[in-house]
């Protein structure tokens, strides 16, 4: 996977803003953004690409912190519940939410080659999905729209050098 600067994606917040935002939201909700949880969120935001749970665990250990898989998964569960991160089911990785606060199902473009992710926020898609579920009397608990492919930058490359 190549690493690169930024995918031309919708209005996006940066790591610093994300952490500040997370603190505000958790405070308002009476949720405890502990040091561990905050650090996991920071690790996720500092990465150019989404991270797997075990990669995050390695980074926690690099901090000198002790930990095991449950350490990470619990923090991730908290962040997911607070709508601060998303899980990309196609790749089993986690990425920071670009619109925290408004609980929403994710819409993602995931580049197979460089791993970068673009979070969409297309209300028309949400609307159509809501119409489908309403028509069927289906109660929505979680929702994900994931498109795996190749981003413009990687399409410029001669071919897929995987």
- Contacting residues toward DNA, per CB under 7 A: 31-32, 34-37, 52-54, 65-71, 73-75, 78, 87, 92
Task: List the structure tokens of 51.
Answer: 């991270």
Total residues belonging to the chain: 162
Query: Residue 8 interacts with its own copies (CB under 8 A)?
Result: yes
What are the φ and ψ backbone dihedral angles of 51, each rounded to 5 degrees? -120, 150
Judged by CB under 8 A, does residue 145 bind its own copies? yes
Binding site partner of 105, from its own copies, Zn ion, DNA, none, Cβ cut-off 5-8 A by kind: its own copies
Q: What is d(CA 125, CA 127) in angstroms, rounded to the nearest whole number?
A: 5
Q: Which of 97, 109, 110, 117 binds Zn ion (CB under 5 A)?
A: 97
Q: Which of 42, 71, 37, 78 is nearest to 57 (CA)?
A: 71
Please list, in sequence order, all residues whose beta carbon lies within 8 angstroms of the beta carbon of residue 18, skipping any fewer than 6 positions away: 41, 45, 84, 96, 100
60 binds Zn ion (CB under 5 A): no
- The dihedral of CA 146, 151, 157, 158: what is its sign? positive
The nearer residue to DNA, 37 or 116, going by C-beta atoms, is 37
Whichever of 37 and 98 has its CB closer to DNA, that residue is 37
Q: Shortest Cβ distance from residue 158 to its own copies (Å)?
A: 15
The correct pick among 2, 39, 104, 112 for binding its own copies (CB under 8 A) is: 112
């Amino acid at each position: 996977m190549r690493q690169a600067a930024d995918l031309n994606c919708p209005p996006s917040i940066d790591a610093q803003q994300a952490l500040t935002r997370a603190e505000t939201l958790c405070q308002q909700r009476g949720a405890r953004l502990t040091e561990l949880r905050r650090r996991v969120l920071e690790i996720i935001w500092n990465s150019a690409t989404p991270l797997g749970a075990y990669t995050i665990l390695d980074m926690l250990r690099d901090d000198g912190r002790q930990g095991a898989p449950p350490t990470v998964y619990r923090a991730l569960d908290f962040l997911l519940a607070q709508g601060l991160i998303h899980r990309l089911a196609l790749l089993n990785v986690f990425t920071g939410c670009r619109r925290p606060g408004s609980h929403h199902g994710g819409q993602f473009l995931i580049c197979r080659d460089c791993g970068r992710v673009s979070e969409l926020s297309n209300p028309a898609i949400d609307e159509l999905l809501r119409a489908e579920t309403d028509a069927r009397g289906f109660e929505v608990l979680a929702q994900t729209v994931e498109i795996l492919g190749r981003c413009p930058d990687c399409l410029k490359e001669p071919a897929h050098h995987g």
